[in-house]
Amino acid sequence: EPEVTQTPSHQVTQMGQEVILRCVPISNHLYFYWYRQILGQKVEFLVSFYNNEISEKSEIFDDQFSVERPDGSNFTLKIRSTKLEDSAMYFCASSEQGAENEQFFGPGTRLTVL
Amino acid sequence: GENVEQHPSTLSVQEGDSAVIKCTYSDSASNYFPWYKQELGKRPQLIIDIRSNVGEKKDQRIAVTLNKTAKHFSLHITETQPEDSAVYFCAAGGSGYSTLTFGKGTMLLVSP
């Protein structure tokens, strides 16, 4: 069964550094998402992406964040200048259609900012 | 924006008992309500979902009910087993928005 994949599984970085988290959505899916989950807390929506542009973003997704689909398979989340509070698990998800359709989550990237 | 409240935050049951987790939502335009199960250190996985044109849906030991008037929906697990132990998240979305708003989660512990 196809799955969403993410790399790396764990990223450790220094405060102020840029990080890029990578995701490969399920191949026939058209909608892509990033969520984050701070340890022990709920899953929080960051951004959704469709047709090569952002369709929705949350208040968390400020100017430090950006997303890109650089080729036909990868979907990336960039954090330009990481802060301590960016430490979290970041999940990528994809869905075949948009609203009212199952979102399939990747295994996550644990980001630790020191 | 949408706000989803979930209760209880923890739920301990004996194996074989039923478990019920409840969620309320604020945006009457929401029309898609999935439930995700997340085992420790793993990704959230969809276990059941319901759309607003349906009041109840069942899949083996799992059922979900939706009351659109009251804006609440519930997850029911019957004949619980130790492997049901996990954190369960409800979410609300749909109505043209791709965003899912999650509840805070319920840690379900099933004791043998």
Q: What's the pLDDT tens digit per position in A8-50?
A: 999 999 999 999 999 999 999 999 999 999 988 889 999 999 9
CB contact under 8 A, A42 and B100: no
Band of pLDDT at residue A66, cut at 50, 70 and 90 = very high
Partner A contacted by B30 (CB < 8 A): no
CB contact under 8 A, B98 and A44: no
Contact B5, B91 (CB under 8 A): no
Q: CB-CB: which of B34, B99, B101 is closest to A102?
A: B34
Hey, are the CB atoms on B98 and A41 less than 8 Å from each other?
A: no
Question: What share of chain A has pLDDT > 70, as a percent?
Answer: 99
Instruction: Specify whether the CB–CB gap between A77 and A90 falls below 8 A.
Output: yes
| B49/chain A closest Cα distance in angstroms | 8
Residues of A with CB under 8 A from a CB of B: 31, 33, 41-45, 48, 50, 55-56, 58, 91, 95, 98-108
Other Cβ atoms closer than 10 A to A1: 4
pLDDT over 90 percentage in chain A: 82
C-alpha B98/C-alpha A62 separation (Å) is: 19
pLDDT tens for each residue of chain B, 112 residues long: 889 999 999 999 999 999 999 999 999 989 999 999 999 889 999 999 998 888 999 999 999 999 999 999 999 999 999 999 999 999 998 766 668 899 999 999 999 9
Query: B7 at the A interface (CB within 8 A)?
Result: no
pLDDT, chain A, mean: 93
Q: Which residue of chain A has the CA closest to B102?
A: A43
- CA dist B19 and B47 (Å) reads 15
Asked if B98 lies within 8 A of A58 by C-beta distance, the reply is: no
Considering CB atoms only, which of B46, B95, B103 is closest to A102? Answer: B46
3-state DSSP helix/strand/coil % of chain B, to nearest 5:
5, 60, 40
pLDDT given at position B94: 77
Chain A residues with beta carbon closer than 8 angstroms to that of B104: 41-42
